[in-house]
Amino acid sequence: MNLAAVVREGLMLAALVLAPVVAAAAAASVGVGWLAGRFGLRDPSVVIISRAIAVVLALIVAGEWMSERLVTSSRALWSRLGEVE
């Protein structure tokens, strides 16, 4: 196993673990932005607060899965550390 493969695996894991949080923030931004435009709200704090709430909820819902993936990957990497070229 070479260093490039380890880095690629780490980046893929980071993207996979962050995907639920990014998706929740994007969905909240689009949904609340659409509603704000529909009702004529111009206050940006509405979108920011809804995005923060969506991120916290995503972390609550997917946090255990995220930490499990990170721990499993870290253990696998540490066990194969001697094989890295």
85 pLDDT exceeds 80?
no
Half-sphere exposure in the Cβ direction for 7 (13 Å, CA): 4
3 pLDDT exceeds 80?
yes
Residue type, 25: A
Residue 37: phi, psi to the nearest 5?
Answer: -70, -35
Encode pLDDT of 53-62 as tens digits: 999 999 999 9
- Max intra-chain CA distance, the chain: 60
- Token output for 72: 């499993």
Domain count, the chain: 1
Residue 30: phi, psi to the nearest 5?
Answer: -65, -45
CA-CA-CA-CA torsion for 70, 71, 73, 74, nearest 10 degrees? Answer: 110
Q: What pTM was computed for the model?
A: 0.82
For residue 65, the enclosing domain spans: 3-83
The whole-number average pLDDT for the span 42-58 is: 93
Q: Are 24 and 54 in contact (CB under 8 A)?
A: yes
